[in-house]
Amino acid sequence: MRRLAPVLRQDGADADLISLIKTILAACKEISFRVGQGALSGVLGSTLDENIQGETQKKLDVLANELLKDMILESGLVMAISSEEEESTVAGNPNGQFLVTFDPLDGSSNTDINSLIGTIFSILPAPAKADPADPSIFLQPGTAQIAAGYVLYGPSTMLALTTGKGTRLYTLDKTYGGFLLTQEEVAIPGVTAEFAVNMSNQRHWEAPMQAYIADLLQGKEGPRGKNYNMRWIAAMVGDVHRILCRGGIFAYPRDLKDPKKPDKLRLMYEANPMSMLVEQAGGASSTGYQRIMEIQPVDIHQRVAVILGSRHEVDSCLNYHKTDSSKP
C-alpha cells in the first residue's frame, strides 16, 4: 500500500502543500488517540461554554480545536486559519501561502455514545500581501479550494482527501503511524436507493423537499417505482463517508423551525469541503437552487442548505425544486 506523500506528489501537489496536509493529519492522529481512549482520557461530556454558533461545546470540541489551531499555525505555512469554533479568524504567518478552514469535531454530540465523529478541513490560497487578521480573505467560493478532506474516527481512522485530481481514501496504520492509500479512486454510483435526512424536521421543510421525501417514502408503489432505505448518523462526516463508499443522497434542507437560522450547515467548514470531495468522486452537490461551490461567501460563519450525493438522485431532488414557483 502506498504512503500519502508519494500519492500527493503524483497528483501534482508541491512540497509546501504536502507538508501542510501532513501537519493537519498529525493533529488528527492525536485527536484519534484521544477519541479512542474515550472515558479513560477524561474528555467526554460538555463544557459550560457555548461556541460562536450558540452550541454547547463538548470537551473534545475544545481539545480538537486547540490541537488543530496550534499545530497548523506553528507550521508557518498558513497566513490564517478559520475554525467553526472560533468567533473570528486567527492570523498566522503574513507570508504564508495558504488559508485553512476546519470543523474540528463534526458530530461531537456523538462523542458520549461512542458513535461516528470526524474532522473536516479545507485549504484555500492566501491572497498575496493580504492582512492576515482580515477575515474577508477567507470569502472565496468553494471552486477556489486547493484541497479538501475529512478524517473519520470510527472502528478504523480513515482519511478522504482530494487535491482536485479525484477523491482517494486512506486508512491510518497504527503500527506504521501514517495514512496508507486503501482506495485509489472513489466513484460514487450515480443511482441509489438510500437517503439520509433528519426526518424529525420534515414538517418544517420547504414544499419541494416535502414532496421529494414523500415520494421516496411511497416506495415501489409511488412515482419513483422503487423502495428506499433511510440512514442517519447525525454526523455529516459519517453520512458523506457512506455515500463515498456505496452511494446515496444526504440532505440537510432549509427549514422554518427557527426563521432566524433556516439553514444548518456551515458553508466554509462543512458544505464546501464535502462538496469538493463528492464532486471529485463523480457526485453532485447543491443547495436545491445553486451549486454549493459556486456560492460567493459573505460571512465566515455563513450557513447553507445541503443536498449532495449520487448524481442521478441529486438531479431528481433538484427537479422538485425547479417546479417551486416561490423560488428563483
Please enumerate, by residue number, every residue annotated as part of a binding site for substrate.
Answer: 106-109, 198, 264
Output the nine-digit C-alpha cell for 57.
461545546
Residues contributing to the annotated binding site for Mg(2+): 84, 103, 105-106, 270
For the range 75-81, what are the long-range contacts, defined as Cβ-Cβ under 8 Å and sequence gap of 24 or more? 75/19, 75/20, 75/23, 77/16, 77/19, 77/20, 77/23, 78/20, 78/126, 79/126, 79/130, 79/132, 79/137, 80/126, 80/132, 80/133, 80/137, 80/138
CA torsion 160-161-162-163 (nearest 10°) is 180
Q: CB under 8 Å to 114, separation ≥6 — which residues?
A: 38
Q: Are 192 and 307 in contact (CB under 8 A)?
A: no
Q: Tell me the Cα Rg of the chain.
A: 19
Give 8-46 as a DSSP string. HHHTT--HHHHHHHHHHHHHHHHHHHHHHHGGGGT--SE
70 C-beta neighbours (distance < 10 Å), count: 12
Whole-angstrom distance, CA of residue 69 vs CA of residue 78: 11
Query: Which of 28, 64, 45, 251 has the alpha carbon at shortest distance from 153?
Result: 28
Amino acid at 86: E
Q: Are 170 and 181 in contact (CB under 8 A)?
A: yes
Residues contributing to the annotated binding site: 84, 103, 105-109, 198, 264, 270
Which secondary structure element, helix H or strand E, spans residue 131, and what is its range?
Answer: none
Given the DSSP bridges, would you call strands 249-252 and 194-196 parallel, antiparallel or unpaired?
Answer: parallel
Q: Are 135 and 143 in contact (CB under 8 A)?
A: no
Q: Are 305 and 263 in contact (CB under 8 A)?
A: yes
